[in-house]
Chain A
Amino acid sequence: GDSVTQMEGPVTLSEEAFLTINCTYTATGYPSLFWYVQYPGEGLQLLLKATKADDKGSNKGFEATYRKETTSFHLEKGSVQVSDSAVYFCALSAAGGFKTIFGAGTRLFVKA
């Protein structure tokens, strides 16, 4: 069945460091891929998404590129801030499917 695997956390970075959170997926066809973010005490919210191969989703300085050949959707940010401290979830929604599959989440701590 469909699945999402993302790197375990926590990830601890200093402010202005480069961030990469790895995500790979298994799915048939061409799923839509997502990154959701969960700030402390809140529900998940969409950070970015991509719907086809080689698409790049971007938002708030975060980027992720849909790589069909490596079945990956890694999240990157060039310079993290303390306010980026949160849990990040990679997810997929299968084409023609009826539910979203979430990864386990990666907690990011950014130190001032």
Chain B
Amino acid sequence: DADVTQTPRNRITKTGKRIMLECSQTKGHDRMYWYRQDPGLGLRLIYYSFDVKDINKGEISDGYSVSRQAQAKFSLSLESAIPNQTALYFCATSDRHRDNTDTQYFGPGTRLTVL
């Protein structure tokens, strides 16, 4: 079984709809991240969380919100989706306590299309 899972894997929605992407992990890691991948732009950080009570904005947080429901769950919401939010979204985890290099472990991604 995968250590980091994301649901849904694919989603097509319309402009103005509210969308939630979910991430769960069984690695026991404290840190969780949401990234967005666009062609030619690499990965850009949307939000990150170091524990349940610590949530921080990344470089492109506008139009997004997150919730850390438990250590193992971190969800990303698009309150009112727009077409330029069409992208591949990745959840990742890391464990700074046991690995001070902060190696990232990624989920399989969610492909979101906003029409």
Interface residues of A (CB under 8 A from B): 32, 34, 36, 41-46, 49, 51, 89, 91, 93, 97-100, 102-105
Contacts and interface: CB of A to CB of B under 8 A. Distances in A.
A99 B106 contact: no
Interface of B: 4, 33, 40-43, 45, 48, 50, 58, 90, 92, 94, 101-109
Contacts, number: 54
A104 B42 contact: yes
B42 A43 contact: no
A99 B45 contact: yes
A46 B104 contact: yes
Nearest to A51: B101
Most buried by B among A42, A45, A97, A99: A99
Contacts of B50: 98
Closest 7 A/B residue pairs (Cβ): A43-B106, A32-B101, A104-B42, A93-B102, A102-B43, A44-B106, A102-B42
B41 A104 contact: yes
A34 to B, nearest CB: 7
